[in-house]
Amino acid sequence: MRIFLAPMEGVVDAMMRDMLTRIGGYDRCVTEFIRVSERCLPRHVFIRFCPELLNNSRTPAGIPVYLQLLGGNPAIMAANASKAASLGAAGIDINFGCPSKTVNKSDGGSIILREPERVHDILTAVRAAVPSTIPVTAKIRLGYDNTDTLSAIADAVESSEINELCIHARTKLNGYKPPAFWKQVATIRHRLSMPVIINGEIWNSSDAKMAKEQSGCDDLMLGRGAISFPDLALSIQHNLSPEQPNGSNCQTYQPLPWQDILLWLQNHSQLSHEQVPKYAANRTKQWLIYLKRQYPEAAILFEQVKRCRTVPEMISLFQLSSSAISHSAISSA
């Protein structure tokens, strides 16, 4: 089983990839999508989305980062994929999943799923433009407004000879609403000889187990779950690993305590403040909202920081909260 960190625009940037891959359990990351429309983008754009290109396309913890492209013109997608490869991308991923109206209007993302032959043309052009040593992967949904084209999409992907396919088990119309239809993926798995990765609605180890069983996929991609539960990948690796050699079950995984998460939060918001000051405060609040799902303490902290305008204001509240926890640990010892 391999576990991949999902691309998430505005959420999973290089700093988030760095933090989550340091915490561990991930085998690969994918950048936020880079929109490709009329031309070959300049180097600085690729570096902005994927600063890891300056580190052999790996996070500081050594995990490979694939660069994701989104667009509808095969020749232009191919030219950009070739450029990304020449800059050292560990792999190229093509986005056919984005549901955004703006993106779909400009002929990119999930709208292309309505025309499986275009999926084929884009992937074939990209595969041909990139050296065979560099993997090309694609990320799709089950379809646009229904799953009628799913088999044709699977055949289009298979004949393009790319390396792997990730399926977010919902249509564009389903958006991000639960459930994810993992079983639907099993209906087309036999059409594909490449590894297929299951994605959607995996928040804990038992979801991971069911997603694997119902889809028939071995590998997983984690999106919102990874942000809500920063050591989710470690937890899945631990809980789904085969039994210990002596036959006894592994002990249940203990998620990182809130105190540790608080330290990651301080670190991450400080880094964001230094590197993307314009977005840092909102991104920190956004992360706290995701963390509420796993940690009740995040909900309390969110109420305290929600009116803060700057990261330094938030960090002083995080420090207060952190020292209150240490103080109560000392007094109860």
Ligand X SMILES: Cc1cc2nc3c(=O)[nH]c(=O)nc-3n(C[C@H](O)[C@H](O)[C@H](O)COP(=O)(O)O)c2cc1C
Residues with a catalytic annotation lie at 98
DSSP string, 113-139: GG-HHHHHHHHHHHHHHS-TTS-EEEE
Counting contacts by CB under 6 A, is residue 52 touching ligand X?
A: no
Residue among 85, 225, 228, 268 that touches ligand X (CB under 6 A): 225
- Binding segment for ligand X (CB under 6 A), chosen from 43-51, 84-92, 197-205, 253-261, is 197-205
Site for ligand X in 154-183 (CB under 6 A): 168, 176
Counting contacts by CB under 6 A, is residue 298 touching ligand X?
A: no
Burial state string for 153-173 with b = 16 or more CB within 10 A and e = fewer than 16: bbbbbbebebebbbbbbbbbe
**Which residue carries 């600063």 as its tokens?**
51
Counting contacts by CB under 6 A, is residue 33 touching ligand X?
A: yes
Of 178 and 247, nearer to ligand X (C-beta) is: 178
Count the site residues for ligand X by CB under 6 A: 23
Of 29 and 315, nearer to ligand X (C-beta) is: 29
- Binding segment for ligand X (CB under 6 A), chosen from 75-83, 110-118, 218-226, 269-277, is 218-226
What CA–CA distance (Å, rounded) separates 273 from 92?
29
3-state helix, strand, coil in the chain (%, to 5): 50, 15, 35
Residue among 223, 261, 268, 321 that touches ligand X (CB under 6 A): 223
Count each helix (H run) and each strand (E run) in the chain, helices first.
14, 9
Counting contacts by CB under 6 A, is residue 11 touching ligand X?
A: yes
Q: What value, to the nearest 5°, has the Cα angle with vertex 270 and ends 268 and 275?
A: 90
Residue among 202, 233, 281, 288 that touches ligand X (CB under 6 A): 202
- Binding segment for ligand X (CB under 6 A), chosen from 14-22, 216-224, 273-281, 319-327, is 216-224
DSSP H or E segment with residue 232: helix 232-239
CB of 98 to ligand X, least distance (A): 6
- Binding segment for ligand X (CB under 6 A), chosen from 128-136, 221-229, 232-240, 265-273, is 221-229
Burial state string for 28-51 with b = 16 or more CB within 10 A and e = fewer than 16: bbbbbbbbbeeeebeeeebeebbb
Counting contacts by CB under 6 A, is residue 108 touching ligand X?
A: no
Counting contacts by CB under 6 A, is residue 127 touching ligand X?
A: no
For residue 68 the two structure tokens come to 């994701």
**Which residue carries 């240490």 as its tokens?**
326
First and final CA of the chain: distance in angstroms?
Answer: 41
Residue among 32, 52, 219, 231 that touches ligand X (CB under 6 A): 32
Binding site for ligand X (CB under 6 A): 6-11, 32-33, 68, 95, 97-98, 139, 168, 176, 199-202, 222-225
